[in-house]
A and B are shown apart, each in its own frame.
Chain A
């Protein structure tokens, strides 16, 4: 069963193509990150999944229902990018309003605000909130009623590292209870490893879709190998690894994913001259840049 099913989705604005034949499915309890540059089509895809924009062609269903239909809206929660809310309302008033719009009890507001860490600020006006606090109000409304599908547009922008961790903990909790989550981000390093799958959009086309380890293999970026020779043995190590560059006491070189064992064998051969060594995987941002550029 899939909660969100998107097939050959295309959106044209005049002659410009914002989204080009994108397929994407999300199962209940699955967390999928949608990555791409500004203008890659992330927000467009999300708005079409919510029924806010009509697709030019292609098909979207939410648990079998058309996006924007009453049932689909009841099932779906949304957190738009850069949401501000009315500055004169308190966080509590705003959440009580959202609860009533969903036909739920306004009394649930305090619990929701406590869950996102705003219990103390609940009765202050949103105008006095920081960007991160406003983002938490947005998150609180997205939690209403434990939605079946959550669509979050850049939810972690404006959150400090601690808040971001708390935010992912909330997502984990929802996912365990079966909520399908689609969230977008600029950077792979932002979504961390706590998503089940990562889809990358570039210029309106989906260029990758898989778990982080799959993407890592697809990118086929070399590892970085660092060697720290024993005192006085630097020259010997440099001779054994002529491809390595020396920076200070440390020798650095690259190595293909498939060649890890070969390098390890060479290190073992000169083990007496080496104090320590490290294999550093390519950074998440390196992988992301590699995939989106190779597709373009």
Chain B
């Protein structure tokens, strides 16, 4: 079983390299990280936070928007592409299970996200070190936390991309659905919550339901976890009050549950693909 997963990992990674997904992801992450690391340094003095913590606060937003988008772009073709090329019935006639195929693909695509996130945020750390010397190291724990939670968020959206790929069966339809999911999950969801809070004006929704809805979205869970876990980052983001009203374990649990749930959804969608 392990050999079949490794071989699938190997071939998927080769495909991702040739498709330039890795170079595109790395360039995007490094470019945005550098811009935020350099431009986002202005408020340091006023807030009393170290430079890297301030940068992490900006990078958190980058993770929320860019990592899900990258993950969906990398994964939307996973099943629909095999159907289109006619290779899916062939693979399934081999002694390899649907689960093994998915795990191999997910592993290869996760490595792409890991490389892109590490290089991007590593570049940001170097900029912080360059400008502030070793004083910037205070924020290193926050940066590492952002790196591994971003990878978890990436895994969630890779699996959701695979799920979409299995449901839509055609690469073009899968691409459209992936963009739709991204818009809903990271843009419209928050706007909807914001509108609801304004309308509710501090009522029961805002105090009881809203925190759960916020945590239930994996992208928001990543944001809250990273802002709440570090005082300096929270201060720099200006959202410390909001973030700290939610217990730290909740957003982390949400992220972890989503990783498993999304993988399960992808497997379920793949299982429904008829040949």
For residue A129, CB closer than 8 A to chain B, the reply is: no
| Cα of A70 to Cα of B97 in the assembled complex, Å | 10
Contact of A47 among B10, B11, B14, B89 (CB under 8 A): B89
A83-B85 contact in complex given A97-B7, A100-B3, C-beta closer than 8 Å: yes
| Cα of A258 to Cα of B68 in the assembled complex, Å | 76
For residue B180, CB closer than 8 A to chain A, the reply is: no
For residue B132, CB closer than 8 A to chain A, the reply is: no
For residue B90, CB closer than 8 A to chain A, the reply is: yes
Complex contact B93–A85 (CB within 8 A)? no
Complex contact B90–A88 (CB within 8 A)? no
Residues of B within 8 A of A85 (CB): 85, 87
For residue B249, CB closer than 8 A to chain A, the reply is: no
CB-nearest residue of chain A relative to B20? A88
| Cα of A138 to Cα of B3 in the assembled complex, Å | 22
For residue A52, CB closer than 8 A to chain B, the reply is: yes
| Cα of A81 to Cα of B8 in the assembled complex, Å | 22
Residues of B within 8 A of A77 (CB): 93
A224: shortest Cβ distance to chain B, in Å? 41
A101-B96 contact in complex given A53-B275, A83-B87, A88-B19, C-beta closer than 8 Å: yes
8 Å CB interface, A153-201 against B: none
Q: How many residues of A contact B (CB 8 A)?
A: 32
Residues of A within 8 A of B18 (CB): 88-89
Residues of B within 8 A of A98 (CB): 94
B95: shortest Cβ distance to chain A, in Å? 4
Contact of B275 among A52, A74, A100 (CB under 8 A): A52
For residue B271, CB closer than 8 A to chain A, the reply is: no
For residue A103, CB closer than 8 A to chain B, the reply is: yes
A97-B275 contact in complex given A80-B86, A80-B90, A88-B18, C-beta closer than 8 Å: no
| Cα of A70 to Cα of B94 in the assembled complex, Å | 9
Residues of B within 8 A of A97 (CB): 7-8, 10-11
8 Å CB interface, B2-17 against A: 3-4, 6-8, 10-11, 14-15
| Cα of A77 to Cα of B91 in the assembled complex, Å | 11
8 Å CB interface, A78-98 against B: 78-86, 88-89, 93-94, 97-98
Complex contact B14–A93 (CB within 8 A)? yes
For residue B92, CB closer than 8 A to chain A, the reply is: yes
Complex interface bits, A43-64 against B, C-beta within 8 A gives 1, otherwise 0: 0000100111100000000000
Complex interface bits, A239-263 against B, C-beta within 8 A gives 1, otherwise 0: 0000000000000000000000000
CB-nearest residue of chain B relative to A100? B7
Residues of B within 8 A of A94 (CB): 11
CB-nearest residue of chain B relative to A54? B274
Complex contact A78–B93 (CB within 8 A)? yes
Complex contact A47–B275 (CB within 8 A)? yes
Contact of B95 among A81, A84, A101 (CB under 8 A): A101
| Cα of A70 to Cα of B92 in the assembled complex, Å | 11
CB-nearest residue of chain B relative to A79? B90
B262: shortest Cβ distance to chain A, in Å? 24
Complex contact B85–A50 (CB within 8 A)? no
B118: shortest Cβ distance to chain A, in Å? 25
Residues of A within 8 A of B94 (CB): 73, 98, 101-102
Complex contact A86–B87 (CB within 8 A)? yes
Name which of A53, A77, A100, A141 has the most chain B CB atoms within 10 A of its CB: A100
Name which of A77, A97, A103 has the most chain B CB atoms within 10 A of its CB: A97
Complex contact A83–B90 (CB within 8 A)? yes
Residues of B within 8 A of A52 (CB): 89, 92-93, 275
A–B Cβ pairs within 8 angstroms, 6 of them: A52-B92, A82-B86, A86-B15, A89-B11, A97-B10, A103-B95
Q: A77-B93, A88-B15, A89-B11 are in contact. List 20 more A-B contacts (CB 8 A).
A: A47-B275, A52-B92, A53-B275, A70-B95, A73-B95, A78-B93, A79-B90, A81-B86, A83-B87, A84-B84, A84-B85, A85-B87, A93-B11, A97-B7, A97-B11, A100-B6, A101-B8, A101-B95, A101-B96, A151-B93
